[in-house]
Copies of this chain bind each other. A is one copy, B any other.
Amino acid sequence: MAVRAAVAGASGYAGGELLRLLLAHPGVEIGALTGHSNAGQRLGSLQPHLPPLAGRVLEPTTPEVLAGHDVVFLALPHGQSAAVAEQLGDDVLVVDMGADFRLRDAGDWEKFYGSPHAGTWPYGLPELPGARAALAGTKRVAVPGCYPTAVSLALFPAYAARLARPDAVIVAATGTSGAGKALKPHLLGSEVMGSMSPYGVGGGHRHTPEMIQNLSAAAGEPVTVSFTPTLAPMSRGILATCSAKARPGVTAAGVREAYEKAYADEPFVHLLPQGQWPATASVYGSNAVQIQVAHDEAAGRVIAISAIDNLAKGTAGGAVQSMNIALGLPEDTGLAATGVAP
């Protein structure tokens, strides 16, 4: 019997991608769809790529509307999930695609988000050590941020295998959908096409503490992260170029072996054959992650590069994958490992 799922925040990019995935999921029946300023509008005008739901009308995000579902996905602005989640019963699976329950450190939360810390939920990145056990049977999931997904999967094997020193340098390019459907001048097509530009340089990006949390856990020691995000002229995709000083004695073969071991059994993480490099086009619309590693002997660094679709594996795909685990379904139910390319 299908589980019945509601989506709070169905008018945005994350909500739209989630609905695309849920429509392809054989075990889910789509229930209430809610919006805030868009309540009362037809979904067909807001998400024209989802014809099976075109006639649906967005309802307001209230406890009454969200009641009576087995799963509730929250695709809300940061800081708004806690208030909604509180009103949902303990027997409902709540999957938060916002940042509210990702960080363990209340101080980090308050520094980067400026409001009281709401708590910490099981973390929806199943590929991290221990994550599947925490997700199995849980009623609360904090879906990771898109950048932390790409970066953590690129680097945690290097830290877990003690190949790298605890000073990571990360430069990542994201498609514009990562910024949401926000009406800001720098997100206009005219500004974005043909342009690469950085933002949040020097430690200012909100995803930095989440990366530090994940990498430090893998390393067993505090890891610092220098993170520079850049906006790329594409709708979707993250390419994360990550590196750290190699520890003494590290070899190219040793690096390769650590990653092969880490990802041997992962259904969605593809360590590419040597000589082939990740491309965001290859994971477009897919839950797959492409990873490649190198050891730069001259510079003495381990380099790991990952490509994901920020809306799929980076948000909605990760949410569905975590839901599957929480519900005891096969982890890949309804999720494609194939990208839409070219």
Contact = CB atoms under 8 A, between A and B. Distances in A.
Given A48-B279, A299-B167, A195 B305 contact: no
27 contacts: A13-B342, A16-B342, A44-B276, A45-B273, A48-B279, A51-B288, A51-B338, A169-B169, A169-B243, A176-B188, A176-B189, A190-B342, A191-B281, A193-B193, A193-B233, A193-B234, A194-B280, A194-B281, A196-B280, A197-B239, A197-B281, A201-B277, A203-B296, A226-B299, A226-B303, A232-B232, A285-B340
B235 A189 contact: yes
How many copies of the chain does the oligomer comprise?
4
A159 B51 CA distance: 26
Given A191-B189, A340-B20, A241 B279 contact: no
A195 B281 contact: yes
Contacts of A235: 189-190, 193-194, 281, 341-342
A191 B46 CA distance: 11
Given A226-B299, A338-B49, A239 B183 contact: no
A273 B301 CA distance: 33
A195 B44 contact: no
A183 B181 contact: no
A340 B234 contact: no
A281 B236 CA distance: 12
Contacts of A228: 171, 241, 243, 303, 305
Interface of A: 13, 16, 20, 23-24, 42, 44-45, 47-52, 54, 167, 169, 171, 173, 175-177, 179, 181, 183-185, 187-199, 201-203, 224-226, 228, 230, 232-237, 239, 241, 243, 245, 270, 272-273, 276-286, 288, 290, 292, 294-301, 303, 305, 307, 336-342
Contact of A307 (B16, B176, B197, B272): B197
- List 3 tightest A-B contacts by C-beta distance, closest first: A189-B192, A195-B281, A49-B339
Contacts of A195: 234, 237, 279-282
Given A192-B193, A201-B292, 17 more contacts: A13-B190, A47-B341, A49-B286, A49-B340, A51-B338, A169-B243, A181-B185, A189-B191, A193-B235, A194-B235, A194-B281, A195-B280, A195-B281, A196-B307, A197-B239, A201-B277, A235-B342
Given A48-B279, A187-B189, A193-B189, A171 B241 contact: yes
Contacts of A175: 190, 194
A282 B338 contact: no
Nearest to A24: B336
Contact of A193 (B167, B176, B196): B176
A204 B214 CA distance: 30
A284 B340 contact: yes
